[in-house]
Amino acid sequence: MVSTLTELTRIPAVAPENGGDGETQKAEKLMETLGKIGFDKTERFDADDSRVSSGKRPNLLAYLNGESDGNRLWIVTHLDVVPAGETSAWTKTAPFKPFVTGNLVIGRGCEDNGQSLVASIFAAAALHNLGVKPKHTLALAFVADEEQGSVFGIQHLLGKELFRKEDLVIVPDGGNAAGSFIEVSEKSLLWLRIRTFGKQTHASLPGKGLNAHRIGMQAAVELDKRLHERFGDRDEFFDVPESTFEPTKKDANVEAINIVPGEDSLYFDCRVLPKYDIEEVIAEIKHVLTDIEAKTDATIKLEFIQKQQAPKTLDGDAEVVTLLKQALKRARGFDASVGGIGGGSCAAYFRKAGIPAALWSTVDEVAHQPNEYCKIENMVADAKTFSLLATI
């Protein structure tokens, strides 16, 4: 399992939005691994994407036949990873040169989502090697584009009508360090780009221009304050229990220090509690930006990178949740709890399509951080849980 994880982590499956070339090389390496396991069938459903060199965003499926094919057990993981981020903060190893030390595998994507991807494969391998036929057909999906909205990944697959309403879906892309938390609800997701337009000039003569960078910073500060005030309620069902509105990425503007920029761009990542209509949030954002335009004479354009209203919360007594609780009780000896998270996983797309999906895994939640790691014991424990779940 460690060898497989390190081999896959060496391949930077980064989306083109973040300067990467997609998941094709990683998918090809994964296909080699799947061919050694003994799956009854594998399939590939590529989505066209001219932005990557292969022209394709790969989605792989692998099946281990069960006693019944009526309601298959799906385990859905993703191939893509986020960029390294600030590489100087990686003190243990280079992001895509995985390093094994003690109980840890360190590298970008080791936890998100390599740990669960490998655990699902070896759960199937264990059943095959032991000659144990799963109760339900075990179907593994390895999808593209999860980190940037899933258009070329799970949304592409859902359009192929591969999934049934009666299927059981596990998305192991979040959880807690004990493995005792099952996610059944997600927040609404809103990613924004805010572009400010002023007038470029020499920095020693600011009166002859209009500083788009300053106006962008004003917009960020005002939005940060206003959104937290307007949509500030708490719901302890969720971890984190309130809506979050984070200014994150910023595009480069001018190349020289002594130039006042005439154009600037910044981004917000908003995760909104389901009690709020996302259109109300957008209306408040537009109101703030319109007010700043009037005060500064700048032009501000609002663009939506992602916009998704939270789907209906999954019933805590749904079959997939009940079976997962049973597997965790038998495999790990504890009673799992249910709750909500910040949102953005493949599970939300299944729920929106009316297919019950539970999100669960055992993770330290170091995704997207420097020195991201996978605990080997977590990967093994989750593989055991997956294999047991398939036999209940």
**DSSP H or E segment with residue 202:** strand 201-202
Q: Of 99, 174, 127, which is closest to residue 372 (Cα–Cα)?
A: 99
Distance separating alpha carbons of residues 310 and 24, to the nearest angstrom = 30
Q: If you search the block for the tokens 């998704």, which residue do you land on?
A: 308
Distance separating alpha carbons of residues 42 and 221, to the nearest angstrom = 50
3-state secondary structure at position 67: coil
Catalytic (active-site) positions: 80, 146
Sequence-ordered list of residues with C-beta below 8 angstroms from that of 32, at least 6 positions apart, any chain: none
Cβ neighbours of 53 (radius 10 Å): 11
Contact 134, 73 (CB under 8 A): yes
φ and ψ of 171, to 5 deg: -115, 100
Cα→Cα distances 312→102, 254, 296, 308, 355, Å: 41, 44, 41, 12, 11
Sequence-ordered list of residues with C-beta below 8 angstroms from that of 274, at least 6 positions apart, any chain: 185, 187, 188, 310, 313, 340
Cβ neighbours of 256 (radius 10 Å): 8
3-state secondary structure at position 312: coil
Distance separating alpha carbons of residues 316 and 247, to the nearest angstrom = 33
Using alpha carbons only, how large is the chain's radius of gyration in Å?
23
Token pair listed for 22: 């997609």
Contact 93, 107 (CB under 8 A): yes
Distance separating alpha carbons of residues 300 and 264, to the nearest angstrom = 10
Q: If you search the block for the tokens 């390093």, which residue do you land on?
A: 99
Q: Of 243, 220, 188, which is closest to residue 302 (Cα–Cα)?
A: 220
Contact 245, 227 (CB under 8 A): yes
